[in-house]
């Protein structure tokens, strides 16, 4: 259920409606737009079926939201949300570019990459300090040392950093260094972790699960939103199908589909989505053409020496060339890079 307040409703009227909702042991979520204020009701809203909420001062109308996800829905918020990641606006006219290595391996490696992608026009730097790996014997990341290197790169190159958090025990630590949490595909339904990052106000980049439906993806976003953090960026990164020619099947159709269902920005990760370096270019252009609000791409100065995902990492020179071609696609659909 959402309660739409009249244009010009007073702060006192809004607070009165919120207090009325709390009387029924439900949680009000207040969202202030340019012209109107919307109050989302979180909890078993059936309790309010016979409560005359529309008679309260300042209330314009009460609407039932049929979708299982409430705060993420277009019914809750019709205009697109723009998420501010330390000055970088995700979801606005500009298609945001995020790039960097899969894993932070050393200061030299990260600084070399950061310098190259910065020169190519990137907006944010990505890099993993904690890595979820299929094999327990594979490189698991540098931990806090990796976070410190990421923070140093931010200082030197002026790029906000995006890095993955794997565990509720790491949220406070990663929050200390990062500009944006990344929740990886394997953790999309780690509900305790989602609730924990939801208690912060830091932007969260939420990747779609390996075999998750769009509905399940949006319900995971709802966990973050319902805990008070409205700064969620969705990331399509391919799903597992019967096809084996690519690492995953990159669901480009999910971009326009999700945009009809939610106000949250949607970006695409063609690196994990394909696992094939030679088709990252074409899938990146397709993602921008489909309306993606950003791209998350793996770049490494020496992919053959990478400790993780070297096969799908672009060289800096390849990435710079890709950015030039993306600018043409963005211009064609009235966006910019």
pLDDT tens-digit profile of 310-325? 889 999 999 999 999 9
Predicted confidence (pLDDT) per residue in 119-159, tens digit: 999 999 999 998 665 566 555 678 899 999 999 999 999 99
Model's pTM, two decimal places?
0.89
pLDDT digits (tens, 9 = 90+) for 193-238: 999 999 999 999 999 999 999 999 999 999 999 888 999 999 999 9
Residue 140: per-residue pLDDT: 60
Could you tell me if 159 and 114 are in contact, meaning their C-beta atoms sit under 8 angstroms apart?
A: yes
pLDDT of amino acid 139: 59
109 is written with which tokens? 């490696």
Distance separating alpha carbons of residues 210 and 60, to the nearest angstrom: 42
* 268 pLDDT higher than 90: yes
Percent of the chain with pLDDT over 70: 96
Could you tell me the residue ranges of all domains in the chain? 2-63, 83-332
d(Cα 270, Cα 275) in Å, to the nearest integer?
A: 8
Instruction: Count other Cβ atoms within 10 Å, centred on residue 41.
Output: 24
Q: Which residue is listed with tokens 């995700």?
A: 90
CATH of domain 2-63: 3.30.70.1140
**pLDDT at residue 49 in the model:** 84
Lowest mean pLDDT among 73-77, 220-224, 291-295: 73-77
- DSSP lists the bridge partners of residue 249 as 239
Tokens 């589909």, located at residue:
257
The separation between CA 92 and the C-alpha centre of its own chain, rounded to angstroms, equals: 14
Residue 291: count other Cβ atoms within 10 Å of its Cβ: 16
pLDDT score at 132: 62
CATH class of 83-332: alpha beta
Contacts of 305 (CB under 8 A, 6+ apart): none
What does the pLDDT average to over 154-182?
A: 96
Cα-based distances in Å from 39 to 58, 64, 77, 221:
12, 12, 10, 18
* DSSP summary character for residue 106: -
CA distance 294 to 180: 14
């Amino acid at each position: 259920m959402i309660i739409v307040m009249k244009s010009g409703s007073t702060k006192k009227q809004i607070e009165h409606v919120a207090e009325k909702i709390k009387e029924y042991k439900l949680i009000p979520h207040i969202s202030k737009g340019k012209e109107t204020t919307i109050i989302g009701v979180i909890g078993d809203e059936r309790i309010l079926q016979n409560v005359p909420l529309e008679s309260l001062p300042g209330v314009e109308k009460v609407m039932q939201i049929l979708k299982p996800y409430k705060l993420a829905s277009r019914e809750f918020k019709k205009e697109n949300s723009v998420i501010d990641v330390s000055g970088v606006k995700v979801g606005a006219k500009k298609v945001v570019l995020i790039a960097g290595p899969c894993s932070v391996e050393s200061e030299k490696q990260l600084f070399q990459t950061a310098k190259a992608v910065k020169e190519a026009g990137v907006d944010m730097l990505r890099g993993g300090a904690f890595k979820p790996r299929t094999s327990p014997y594979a490189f698991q990341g540098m931990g806090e040392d990796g976070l410190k290197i990421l923070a140093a790169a931010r200082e030197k190159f002026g790029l906000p950093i995006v890095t993955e958090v794997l565990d509720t025990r790491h949220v406070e630590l990663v929050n200390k260094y990062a500009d944006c949490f990344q929740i990886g595909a394997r953790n999309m339904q780690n509900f305790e972790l989602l609730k924990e990052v939801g208690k912060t106000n830091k932007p969260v980049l939420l990747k779609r699960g390996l075999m998750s439906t769009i509905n399940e993806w949006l319900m995971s976003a709802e966990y973050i939103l319902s805990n008070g953090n409205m700064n969620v960026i969705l990331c399509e990164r391919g799903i597992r199908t019967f096809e084996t020619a690519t690492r995953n099947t990159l669901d480009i159709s999910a971009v326009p589909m999700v945009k009809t269902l939610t106000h949250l920005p949607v970006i695409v990760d063609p690196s994990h989505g394909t696992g094939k370096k030679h088709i990252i270019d074409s899938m990146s252009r397709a993602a921008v053409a489909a309306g993606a609000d950003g791209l998350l791409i793996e770049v490494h100065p020496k992919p053959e020496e990478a400790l993780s995902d070297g096969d799908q990492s672009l060289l800096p020179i390849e990435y710079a060339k890709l950015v030039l071609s993306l600018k043409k696609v963005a211009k064609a659909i009235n966006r910019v890079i």
